[in-house]
Amino acid sequence: MDKKTRRQTALLRQLEQARYISLDDIARQFDVTTQTARRDVQDLEHLGKVRRLHGGVTLAQPVDPRVLRARRVENAEAKARIGATVAARIPDGSALFIDTGTTCEAVAQALLGHHGLRIVTYSLRVATLLAEGSDFTVAVPGGFVRPVDAGVFRAETPEFISRFKFDHAVISVSGIDTAGDMGDDDHAEVAAVQAAMRQAERVLLAVDTSKYGRRALVKLANLADVDEIVTDAAPPAPLDRLVAEAETLLTVAG
């Protein structure tokens, strides 16, 4: 396999994780010129594997469900530590919003030792875990269930979430880019989380190191909009500087 083929194969693997990568990020990650990055994208687009979008590239077809399921065990130990650390910040009787995703599922698992929690989530996986808490109140919106991660969405989901007030909003993201912008790849998901952030006294970002440096398709917010980041390792430059400038509390779990 020649260098070009190896590079393009590696790019496809990264897209299975990040789902969107800009041309500038491709050039930086693979130490090539922007022109070379553009030619790689054109080659893969000609093969029907990717499509160009907003100055970058995304997969032409949805990610294989087997790949998505494999993510459920990616960094599982780190996510468990993050979940326990976030749970330690939640007093009994709190009103919470909890996002979807495997890191937030770890938070839900760690919360089962609490009492009297009142929770809103659009994740059926999170809701199912929390239903084991015998004195919890759990609210979910109605709508269509997204495959694999069991998120529930409809057009009215942000409005549903906006009816509640939260002591804490526990969120996660698909990526945090080098400008400190947090994002996801689904516009509906971003709208739901933004509604929760507006209704929360405190926003906790639960995120593992695999999300650092990734650029997602839809901007959610900036690191400055978060009260505390709970992660498994300190972010690299320039994210470490942006966190310090934003005066956002950074907690490394475990």
Task: Please state which CATH class domain 70-252 belongs to.
Answer: alpha beta
Burial of 38 (0-12, 13-18, 19+ CB in 10 A): middle
Length of the chain: 254
CB contact set of 33 (below 8 Å; sequence gap of 6+): 27
| pLDDT for residue 188 | 82
Q: What is the pTM of this model?
A: 0.76
Q: CA 253 → CA 6, 84, 167, 210, 224, distances in Å?
A: 35, 8, 21, 15, 20
CA dihedral 110, 231, 163, 114 (to 10 degrees): 20
Which tokens go with 232?
């498994």
Torsion from C-alpha of 8, 210, 170, 254, nearest 10 degrees: 170
Identify the pLDDT of residue 72. 58
Position 197, amino acid: M
d(CA 245, CA 223): 10
CA distance 135 to 140: 16
Q: What is the pLDDT of residue 217?
A: 76
pLDDT score recorded for residue 125: 93
Cα–Cα nearest to 119, from 166, 79, 87: 166
The ranges of the chain annotated as CATH 3.40.50.1360 are: 70-252
Please, where in the chain does CATH 1.10.10.10 lie? 3-61
pLDDT, one tens digit for every residue, the chain (254 residues):
688 888 988 888 777 766 678 888 888 888 899 999 999 999 998 888 888 877 788 777 655 556 656 665 667 889 999 999 999 999 999 999 999 989 999 999 999 999 999 999 999 999 999 998 779 999 999 988 876 678 888 889 999 999 999 999 999 998 899 899 999 877 888 999 999 999 999 999 999 988 898 877 789 999 999 999 999 999 998 999 999 999 999 999 98
Helix segments in the chain, DSSP class H: 3-18, 23-30, 34-46, 65-71, 76-87, 102-110, 124-130, 157-162, 187-198, 239-246
Task: Determine the pLDDT at residue 79.
Answer: 93
| Residue the block writes with tokens 């969405």 | 153
What class, spelled out in words, does domain 3-61 have in CATH?
mainly alpha
